[in-house]
Amino acid sequence: MRKQIVAGNWKMNHDLAETESFLVGLKEQVFPEEVTVMIAPSFTQLHHTYKSLRDHPVTTVAQNMHQAANGAFTGEVSAKMLKSVGINTVIIGHSERRAYFNEDHDTLAEKVNAAIEEDMTIIFCFGEELNDRKSDAHFDVVKKQLEDSLFHISDHSWKQVILAYEPVWAIGTGETASPEQAQEMHAFIRKEIAAAASQKIADEVSILYGGSVKPNNATEIFGKKDVDGGLIGGASLAVDSFMEIVNSF
C-alpha cells in the first residue's frame, strides 16, 4: 500500500507571526490517519515549526538545501544543519529553484546524493514546461529529468524518495493538469521507474501531483490510481483550504 501524502510548500511566505497563527489553527484539526501531512515553511521558521509540531502528526519539511556538507557558500544551508534542527525531509528540484536559481540536473543529482547520505527523505520535483507539452515532448522531458538527477540512486535508497510531478505551466497559474493528464504522466513515471529500478520500487513509491491543486479539484485528482497525493503551494497557506485538501482522498 503506497503512502498517501499532502505536502504544503509555503515558498517565501509566512513570517514568524503568520507561521504561529497557522500552527495554532493547524493543531486544532483532526487528521485522517491514512494521510501523511507535511508543511514546508521558510528556513527561518523551520526550527520553530518543528518544535511546535514535535508531538503532532504533521511533519516539518525544508524547501531546499545545499549539496555541500559545509563551507564557503554564503546564504546556504546543508543537510546536516537541517537535521540538527530536527528536519529529516527536504524538497529538491522545485521548478522555481531550477528556473530562478539555475539549479541544473548535475546540481540536483548532487543534492539528491547529499540528502540520501544524511539519511533524509527527498521530495523530488520535476515536470515539463508549457512549450514541452505543446510540442508533445513532455514525456521525454520528464524521463530525462529523472534519468539525469535521480535514477542513479541505489535500490535501497528509493525508500527515501517521494516524487512530485509538477507541470511548470500549472504552478501558481490556476491552470491544473486534468486528472487524466496527471494519471497518464504518473503511470508513465511508474513505468520508467520499473525499468530503471524494479517493478516493486515503482509500485511502492508515492507520486504526488503539484500545480494549482485546490479544495475544489483535489478529490478528482487524488482519485486517479497512480496519484498518491499532492504538493500544494498557494492553497497550503491557510489552514482551512489546506485541511480541505488533506481530507480529499
Residue 41 lies near ligand PEP (rule: CB under 6 A): no
Residue among 96, 103, 128, 166 flagged as catalytic: 166
Q: What is the nearest approach in angstroms of ligand PEP to the Cβ of residue 156? A: 28
Of 182, 201, 232, 245, the one binding ligand PEP by CB under 6 A: 232
Residue 166 lies near ligand PEP (rule: CB under 6 A): yes
Partner residues linked to 197 by β-bridges: none
Q: What is the nearest approach in angstroms of ligand PEP to the Cβ of residue 91? A: 8
How far CA 114 is from CA of 126, 139, 144, 181, in Å, comes to: 18, 27, 21, 32
Q: What is the nearest approach in angstroms of ligand PEP to the Cβ of residue 206? A: 15
Of 135, 172, 178, 238, the one binding ligand PEP by CB under 6 A: 172
Nearer to ligand PEP, 8 or 35 (CB): 8
d(CA 81, CA 228) in angstroms, rounded, equals 30
Residues 6+ apart with CB under 8 A from 64: 77, 90, 91, 92, 94, 97
Residue 48 burial (C-beta neighbours within 10 Å; 0-12, 13-18, 19+): middle
- Cβ proximity of 233 and 172 under 8 Å: yes
Of 233, 239, 242, 246, the one binding ligand PEP by CB under 6 A: 233
Count residues near ligand PEP (CB under 6 A).
13
Q: What is the CA radius of gyration of the chain?
A: 17
Binding residues for ligand PEP, per CB under 6 A? 9, 166, 171-172, 210-213, 231-235
By annotation, the residues acting in catalysis are 94, 166
